[in-house]
Amino acid sequence: MRELGIGLIGTGFMGRAHALAFRNVSAVFELPFKLNLAALTDADPQRARQCAEAWGFAAHHSDWQHLINDPKVNLVAITTPNHLHYPMAMAALAAGKAVYCEKPLAVSLEQASAMRQAARDAGVVTRVGYNYQHNPMITLAHDLIRDGELGEIISFQGEFSEDFMADPDSPWSWRCDPAHAGGALADLGSHLLSMARYLVGDVEAVCADTHTVHTQRPAGTTQKPINVDDQVHALLRFANGARGTFSSSWLKHGYKNHLSFEISGTRGTLTFDQERLNELRLFRAGQDGFQRLLAGPNLPGYAAFSPAPGHQLGYNELKTLEVHDVLMALAGNHQGGTDFEQAWAVERLATAIRLAAREQRWVSLEEV
């Protein structure tokens, strides 16, 4: 069995999630590779060493370029703040290495376009961390829609809200800097935009409004201005004729991971909420109420973890399913994950939403 070397850049929340997934995937699935946790990078040398030892990586670096240059690394996993995705991914692609990058793909459409082209030129596998789409219940939703269970799709209503920035005294961070991040639209909304495209299809035009509620936040003993959106609302016109609404906020008290949608068609309605990620609700025309669909071993992704219904998957299992998709793609078995091409389309859609909000008009995706 061929060995596949994993290089992980970043040791924060997402770095740990990736490390867990790379360690767990071999226990859950039969893989076409023997995984070698080859190297880990963090800008802090001490943390790099500590995390490498704790997470089972053979080597550690404080310079990410050293990891990319390491001949033992075949797949580069990038879990850094958004503005670093571009230089790291471009360097990895130039070295001919597969790239697994956290979302959003980049901080601008220009960067995303360059990354898409570099991936095409390199001819390597790429994936972007839209792990919620790897939920077996989302696959089931996709299949129900594809098979016509809802009839012709006529509407999509989606929201992704959390409250981790709801306190106006929450300190300024890199997420508040437009050069480093993109507000609630990029941080949360990109997940929902990717989900909408996966379930309903391409969007052809948008109209939108963005709003910065807290215009400054504390940074040490001073206040720094905020130039990214706290909340965004948009109307969507899908290429298949469906209409949609989209909203995202990181200020909405009481919500922790409220990625939700309601998709209606001429024969039924389907609803989902990530805070109850093991359930779908399905209404078929003519029945008395919504049917509750519960995750169970009839769904392949679920069955890999548990033989019993109702035992439920969680966030880290979804990340493991995403890593499995990356590995199978590297083995030549495409599983349908979000690659740089599809992630570029999400960035293009987000760019159109920002343009529509700025100019207060409908914007066709062909303009972007």
CATH number (domain holding residue 121) = 3.40.50.720
Residues 221 and 288 in one domain: yes
Percent of the chain exceeding pLDDT 70 equals 99
Residues 123 and 138 in one domain: no
- Mean per-residue pLDDT for 71-89? 98
Return d(Cα 339, Cα 251) in angstroms, integer: 30
| Final residue of a structural domain among 131, 166, 197 | 131
Number of residues that make up the chain: 368
Q: Could you tell me if residue 324 is inside a domain?
A: no
Judged against a pLDDT cut of 80, whether residue 1 lies above it is answered with no
**Structure confidence at residue 264 (pLDDT):** 98
**Structure confidence at residue 336 (pLDDT):** 78
Percent of the chain exceeding pLDDT 90 equals 98
Q: Count of domains in the chain?
A: 2
Q: Could you tell me if residue 333 is inside a domain?
A: no
| The two structure tokens encoding residue 171 | 């300190």
**Cis peptide before 307, with omega less than 30 degrees from 0?**
no
Mean of all residue pLDDT scores within the chain: 97
Judged against a pLDDT cut of 70, whether residue 97 lies above it is answered with yes
pLDDT in tens, 268-323: 999 999 999 999 999 999 999 999 999 999 998 999 999 999 999 999 999 999 99
Q: Could you tell me if residue 331 is inside a domain?
A: no
pLDDT in tens, 186-201: 999 999 999 999 999 9
**Structure confidence at residue 334 (pLDDT):** 76
| Final residue of a structural domain among 113, 131, 149 | 131
- Sheet strands (E) in 229-313: 231-238, 243-249, 258-265, 268-273, 279-284, 291-294
- Mean per-residue pLDDT for 85-111? 98
**Structure confidence at residue 296 (pLDDT):** 97
- Mean per-residue pLDDT for 199-206? 98
Return d(Cα 316, Cα 34) in angstroms, integer: 21
Q: Could you tell me if residue 319 is inside a domain?
A: no
Residues 54 and 64 in one domain: yes
Question: Where in the sequence is the domain holding 359, given as residue range(s)?
Answer: 133-314+338-367
- Are the beta carbons of 86 and 53 closer than 8 angstroms? no
Judged against a pLDDT cut of 80, whether residue 246 lies above it is answered with yes
pLDDT in tens, 139-192: 999 999 999 999 999 999 999 999 999 999 999 999 999 999 999 999 999 999
Residues 101 and 153 in one domain: no
**Structure confidence at residue 324 (pLDDT):** 97
